[in-house]
Structure 1
Amino acid sequence: MTDAVNIGKEHPEIYKAQLALDKTVSESAMAAGLDALLIELVKIRISQLNGCAFCLRMHTRDALAKGESTDRLAVLPAWWESQYFSDTEKAALALAEQATELGVPEQRTWADGSLTTEQQSALTWLAVVMNGWNRIAIMSHYPVGP
């Protein structure tokens, strides 16, 4: 028995469906008025919560390439305690965390009017897909090295 199975290689048709869903969700997020940096921040924060080194490295690099600052990335794990993030970004990060952790009772700290209903929906789908990617990478033991 092996330690890990690369589930994307084992079932490539499902992996391709995940890729297609990811593309549709990203397009919907942009159409809802969410900027590319915010989308990367959400992906990074979800990956931090899930402990996915592969996705953290990939989306941190993507965020830096899109102009994100190292200061904001450094404080992202404690975003609520910093003054680096706008109300919209804070609401988006809170919603992404709730969709990732599914805490009970439901915490709706993000529902402060900073996000439209279209943005709320797009961010929830973004979190659903990113959580899926994290689980694919973690369960497949994607290599992450220098």
Structure 2
Amino acid sequence: MDASSSGTAMSGAAAAPGSTGAGPAEVDADMIRQTYEAVLWGAPPPPVAERAHLNDLLLGHVQLLLPEVADNAVRMQGEQQRTAVHVIVRTRSLLAEGADKSPQAAASYARDLATQCRALLTLHQHPGLLDDRESYP
């Protein structure tokens, strides 16, 4: 599977992994988990070409999960909601920063992106109790 990336945080130009561009893509939790685990705990570090591919996949996963978690965050409660807001804000900031060109900075950015991807997937899969009111103040 291949993921396109546009370098912008939430542009519609980037397709999420597995996306055909028509309608929302389905979340493949196993693939997302394998991708962030390869970056966070893979040893030894992958070759440069594979790192670029993993970064593209991570970016696609984050772009898929971020709006879904943001949509649910308004319905979350308590610490779950505060955590979701923190993750959303930090992820958007990370995406806006982009990756630095130096290899060391790029590796650090990939780990940060993988960490945010892991947090987003957790919030997506375990949003806690959701408020089902029809309207919000």
* TM-score of the two chains, using structure 1 as the length reference: 0.30
More relative contact order, 1 or 2 (CA 8 Å, 6+ apart): 1
